[in-house]
Each structure stands twice: as structure tokens, then as C-alpha cells.
Amino acid sequence: MSNSAHVLAMDCIYDALIDLMKVKPYNKISVTDITERAGVSRMAYYRNYEDKDDILLNRFREELIQLEKNLLNLKDFSKTKVFEMLINMIDKDSPGQYILQANLFDKAFLLFKDFLISFYPKVGIDIENDKTRFYKDIGGLLGCMLYTLEHRDSEDKKQIADNLAEIMDYWEIK
């Protein structure tokens, strides 16, 4: 299978799972449901994924890779801007939203922790010498994600990002 066919199959499988999640509980969706909806064989499915959790977690991992690129390229690096980007990752119709719907928050959180372990040194934060701060940030981010989920229908993204920036004032981001 060529790389473009491989990527196309993965996109079709992801789209099929999301379409199914809109009409059926996650735990009731089978591999057969996904492959039929995606128009791919079971072999194509298993070439790319071990199980349906992998579909969502793989897309979330891709989102984290893009987030890192976006953060590293920011000219106006502010807490509010960082939170606006994080909010988009768990907003409606995002991989983060479907991960929560599928009760995979714990697995996604571990991916996010790994992301921070990789990202922090790139922006000059030494996690080896300040593990307390690192884990405080992780806990704070978890709380912020939950805050976002609870308030996203009553506040606009900018307001939520501003509120989160205030909550996380211990970050040393200017």
C-alpha cells in the first residue's frame, strides 16, 4: 500500500468512527461497523490500528504534534494564546471531544504528559530540576481542560482562554 493510500485509509477509518459515534455509543461500535462505513477491508484496518481506541488516540497524537509546531512558531507567545490552542483540541468536533466521549481521557492524558515532557525543554523549562512545577502544570492543565468542557457553551473561547491564563498565573510565560 502506498503512503498516500495508507493515509487515505486512516482518514476514512477515522471519519467512519466519528460518523458512527454521532449515532451510536462508542462501546457498541464494532470493527465491522467501522470498516463497512469507511469502505476499507479488515486487513487495512488492522494494518493501521490494534483497536478502535488507537484510531482516536492516533489522531490526538497528530494534534499534539501540530500543537507543538504551532507553539514553537508563535511570534506572540502568551498564556491566552496557548490556551486558545489547547481549547481547540478539546472543542466540539475535535479529536479531544471524541476521546472524552469514548472515555479515553486517561490514555489521552498520558499522551499529553509525554507531549509536555518533550515540549518543555524546547521552550527552556528544565523539568529534571523542577519536577514539582512540571506535575503542578499537568494537574493545572487537567483542571483547565475540565473547566473548558464545563463552560464552553456559556462562554466564548477567548473568554475561557483569558480565564485559564489567570488560573495558571504560576506559569512563567509572559
Give per-residue pLDDT as tens, 113-125: 888 888 878 877 7
Given CA atoms 7, 8, 11, 13 in this order, what sign does their dihedral have? negative
**In this model, does residue 1 exceed pLDDT 60?**
no
Residue 36: C-alpha distances to residues 2, 4, 15, 29, 44 (Å): 21, 20, 12, 11, 12
Give per-residue pLDDT as tens, 148-161: 777 777 777 777 77
User: Cα(60)–Cα(94) distance, rounded to whole angstroms?
Assistant: 9
pLDDT of amino acid 114: 87
Question: What average pLDDT does range 21-49 have in this prediction?
Answer: 96
Question: What average pLDDT does range 54-81 have in this prediction?
Answer: 86
Query: pTM to 2 decimals?
Result: 0.82
Percent of the chain with pLDDT over 70: 92
